[in-house]
Amino acid sequence: MAAVMPVPAASRVLMSGNEAVARAVWEAGVKVAAAYPGTPSTEMLEVISSYPDLYAEWSVNEKVSLEVAIGAAYAGSRSFCCMKHVGMNVASDALMTLTLTGVIGGLVIAIADDVGLSSSQNEQDSRYWGRFAHVPVLEPADSQEAYAMTLYAYELSEKFQVPVILRMTTRINHVKSLVTVGERNEFVGAGFKKEPARFVMVPGNAGKRIPLMFARDIKLRELAESAELNFIEEGSDKRVGFIASGPAYMHVKESFPNAPVLKLGFSWPVPFEKCRELAAMVDQVVIVEEVEPLVETELKAQGLNVIGKEILPLQGELSPNVLKPAIARLLGEPVTETTALAPMQVFPRPPTMCVACPHLGVYYTLSQVRNLNISGDIGCYTLGAGHPWNALDTCVSMGASMGVALGMDKGRGEADKDKRIVAVIGDSTFLHMGMQGLLDMVYNKGNVTVLLLDNRAVGMTGGQNNPGNGYGIHGEDAPRVDFAKLVSALGVKDERIHVVNPYELPVLFKTIREEVKVPEVSVIITDQPCVLVKDYHKLKPFEVIDDKCTGCGNCIDVGCPAIHVTRRGKEVKPSGREVDLAFVRIETSVCTGCGLCVQPCAPKAIVHHVQTSPIQLVTKGGCAA
Amino acid sequence: MSDNTNILVVGIGGQGVMTATEILAEAAIALGHDAKKTEVAGMAQRGGVVSSHLRFGKRVLSPQITPGTADVLLGFESAEAMRWQHMLKPGGITLMNTARLVPPVVELGLFDYPEDPLAEIRKSGNKVVAFDATTIAQNLGDIRLGNTVMLGAIADHLPFGAEVLLDCVLKRFQRKGEKLVELNRRAFAAGRAAVGEAAAALA
């Protein structure tokens, strides 16, 4: 993002949680911020990069981003790192030792849990990391809190020389609400001091740091007991008192305005005495937390008689329409029937690949080649698992397509002996965690055909730049990795490396079909950009000559959303077999002329569109609201 | 809280649903309300379902609109307007664009697009006003004016005057020149008029 003028202090602005954290990072005088994109965390670093006076980078993966932040914090500067929940799994190796060394300058790690799986391969509760790594966890309930807690986290981090986790969820990251912003404060770092007993974590040194970590836990718990972020709100209806954190707090207040509530903003270490204080005020205590019963389990271990996941779901978001009936049942009250209609039955509308997406050519081709087991990965191309292609058979974690493909090859049983193993991975995912898997595959002599889909962007998260596209975080020129040379250096034979244009279906088809027959590692690199990035150039749109369309439906199998059925029919083949026909048109206003649908059209019914409509001639300039 | 106004804006990824909701939020804030805006968007950039929730009032706690509590449903697409009917409160109203955006799963013959979403909504007993925002925008010379037409459509169904909303819409185009401001002013008025006429015809 290009630099913008920050809004003045004391302004009250509508901000997402991500924007609020970014503002606070800038105000806190952070010098280094690093991240790998991932929904719902992406906009934090995107917005940070638009502020002046700091260094921001897209790192190749979350572990590297945390390590960059660690280095800056060791150097005495304030640093920031953010990631989605699964990113923390990748970064955790660094975290587990960082907790022993601690920091000099403040280090805040914002982790965005995709509660409800809007765009993730699993659901996780990142509050575990606080317990696992013995670092404090703060949980905002709206954008204003996300802003204020980020500022507080830097003070906390420096006071205890400990990294601090800011645990957010989709419903904090992406919800926009009002935030009153403040002034920026310059933070002058102390500079790096050589202190091997602290910063060189060999067994002899690390062992001496562990007791310090445990002592820190005790001090942090004392602070949590008195911290302003943990407070009790009294209420007149004392039948049930609630302990809640994050967005769940808002749902509790919305649903039970008269109930006593202990709000946990500083949620680990859990302030046990505060919890006992609430318990003494009410008949029953219900813990309302998304996702895992963490506070609940710890309070039960303390001997407190509390209720939690016995009556609330372990999965997904909580909301007033989950909480109200659960509490009514607990109290033995009738559950108020909702006045809402039953939802009407409407077809599903799953996410699709974009019009003219270069992946369409790849998946159309894969869907036409028989006998493949296809190990997939994480990105837009995961959509290849859906209709009409059904050409992706596994998706586990970032970069997993490589190792899983090798395992499918080495572990193949009699039933799969004639199957060809294909791995599909995007450029950014390959650089994130796929390179090591390919190296492993080559070294261990796998029989896998790798499709490396280089679309020159982190597509799914909005087209961020990466080392594969030659642009830095601000769009400036940056060194660009040469994928063919890279895979060659990893040991793939040069005759097994092919760079192909995914819009040239015959070449792609021939290359894939030949390479899957070769019993060693091949890499086929596709080289056309994502249609949403600036390097993509639109071409003249196509249209269908209605008289020529035979209704064969081959073009529909490409899966481009610009192709629409105008009418359906049936035809009896000479063999007596009845086939369905679907006659089509192309939405020329969105077609960008990639030509993929033209290639499987036998009657040559798809031709360049002749512009006649005045709608095509309007001025450019982003009229859309 | 019960004094909140709940506006649900629905459509598909890429239609501008989230921006429209943001402009509505800006109008509410300009009038001194507290406001929260949230989406259930998923991977909406890829043509999926988007439902954007706006709640405003003296103080807003939970950002989500729960089923049966939306005051107004602004539908950018017919089937999507139908999909979210259960979110409306009794007596709530749907303002819907009659556009039909057919997804690949329907083109592939795996599912059917509802024959007449408007009739289905009427049959449910919910109040609904339908208009063709896409054609209105085309007639004004640019299909991208559709979003402003949609905002004009909701202007007389808010607990505040249309002028504030219009100001917030036009503010977005100020830097882009007087011509665009004027076009959007006309689009807003056209959306307002379309809903007014359709509602009058029903009454």
DSSP A73-125: HHTT--EEEEEEHHHHHHHHHHHHHHHHH--SS-EEEEEEE-TT-SS-S----
Yes or no, beta carbons of A340 and B86 under 8 Å apart: yes
Q: Please tell me the distance from the alpha carbon of residue A250 to that of residue A286, in angstroms, as a whole number.
A: 15
Counted residue by residue, chain B has a size of 203
Write the residue in A347, A354, A561 that is nearest to B111 by C-beta: A347
Segment A493-539, tens digit of pLDDT: 999 999 999 999 999 999 999 999 999 999 999 999 999 998 899 99
Write the residue in B48, B86, B176 that is nearest to A343 by C-beta: B86
Angle at B195 between CA B192 and CA B196, to 5 degrees: 80
- Which chain A residues are Cβ-neighbours of B13 within 8 angstroms? 351
- Percent residues over pLDDT 70 in chain B: 96
Phi, psi of B10 (to 5 degrees): -130, 155
Segment A214-240, tens digit of pLDDT: 999 999 999 999 999 999 999 999 999
pLDDT value at B89 more than 90: yes
Write the residue in A118, A247, A559 that is nearest to B104 by C-beta: A559
Q: Please tell me the distance from the alpha carbon of residue B82 to that of residue B112, in angstroms, as a whole number.
A: 14
Segment A35-79, tens digit of pLDDT: 999 999 999 999 999 999 999 999 999 999 999 999 999 999 999
Q: What is the 3-state secondary structure (H, E, C) of A407-419?
A: HHHHCCCHHHCCC
Report pLDDT for B65: 96
Taking each helix axis as running N to C, give the angle between helix B146-154 and helix B178-202, from 0 to 180 degrees, rounded to the nearest 10: 50
Yes or no, beta carbons of A388 and B104 under 8 Å apart: yes
Report pLDDT for B21: 97
- Yes or no: say if A537 and A592 are a contact pair by the CB < 8 Å rule: no
Report pLDDT for B14: 85
Average pLDDT over residues B5-31: 95
Closest residue in B to A566 (Cα–Cα): B107
- Yes or no: say if B127 and B133 are a contact pair by the CB < 8 Å rule: no
| pLDDT band for position A119 (cuts 50, 70, 90) | confident
Counted residue by residue, chain A has a size of 625
Yes or no, beta carbons of B16 and A625 under 8 Å apart: yes
Q: Please tell me the distance from the alpha carbon of residue A148 to that of residue A181, in angstroms, as a whole number.
A: 9
Report pLDDT for B3: 87
- The runs of H, that is alpha helices, within A432-532 are 435-443, 483-489, 505-515
Q: Please tell me the distance from the alpha carbon of residue A319 to that of residue A128, in angstroms, as a whole number.
A: 22
Report pLDDT for A430: 98
- Which chain A residues are Cβ-neighbours of B79 within 8 angstroms? 346-347, 349
Segment A468-503, tens digit of pLDDT: 999 999 999 999 999 999 999 999 999 999 999 999
Residue B152 DSSP label: H
Closest residue in B to A117 (Cα–Cα): B42
Residues 6+ apart with CB under 8 A from B106: A347, A565, B112, B113
Yes or no, beta carbons of A564 and B64 under 8 Å apart: no
Yes or no, beta carbons of B62 and A580 under 8 Å apart: no
- Which chain A residues are Cβ-neighbours of B44 within 8 angstroms? 351
Distance from CA of A453 to the nearest CA of B (A): 18
| Number of inter-chain CB pairs under 8 A, A vs B | 197
Report pLDDT for A618: 37
Report pLDDT for A619: 37
Closest residue in B to A583 (Cα–Cα): B107
Residue in A43, A169, A176 to test binding to B, most B beta-carbons within 10 Å: A176
The two three-digit tokens of residue B50, written as one number: 């988007």
Yes or no, beta carbons of B102 and A351 under 8 Å apart: no
ipTM above 0.85, yes or no: yes
Write the residue in B62, B80, B145 that is nearest to A623 by C-beta: B145
Write the residue in A462, A563, A621 that is nearest to B180 by C-beta: A621
Q: What SS3 state is found at B59?
A: coil
Write the residue in A39, A352, A462 that is nearest to B104 by C-beta: A352
Yes or no, beta carbons of B67 and A582 under 8 Å apart: no
Report pLDDT for B13: 87
pLDDT value at B202 more than 80: no
- Which chain B residues are Cβ-neighbours of A254 within 8 angstroms? 1, 61-62
Judging by beta carbons within 10 Å of its beta carbon (0-12, 13-18, 19+), is residue A285 exposed, middle or buried? buried
Segment B108-141, tens digit of pLDDT: 999 999 999 999 999 999 999 999 999 999 999 9
Distance from CA of B198 to the nearest CA of A (A): 23
The model carries a pTM of 0.95
| Beta-ladder partners of A108 | A80, A164
Q: Please tell me the distance from the alpha carbon of residue A263 to that of residue A241, in angstroms, as a whole number.
A: 11
The two three-digit tokens of residue B24, written as one number: 């509505």
Average pLDDT over residues A416-444: 97
Angle at A70 between CA A64 and CA A76, to 5 degrees: 145
Segment B134-192, tens digit of pLDDT: 999 999 999 899 999 999 999 999 999 999 999 999 999 998 999 999 999 999 999 99
Yes or no, beta carbons of B147 and A624 under 8 Å apart: yes
Phi, psi of A566 (to 5 degrees): -95, -35
Arithmetic mean of pLDDT over chain A: 95
How many angstroms from the chain centroid is the CA of residue A374?
A: 23
pLDDT value at A80 more than 50: yes
pLDDT value at A617 more than 50: no
Average pLDDT over residues A201-207: 97
- Which chain A residues are Cβ-neighbours of B191 within 8 angstroms? none
Cα distances (Å, whole numbers) of residue A481 to A392, A457, A528, A609: 27, 13, 15, 38
Residue whose structure tokens are 């907790």: A99
Yes or no, beta carbons of B83 and A561 under 8 Å apart: no
Closest residue in B to A337 (Cα–Cα): B68
Write the residue in A171, A346, A561 that is nearest to B114 by C-beta: A346
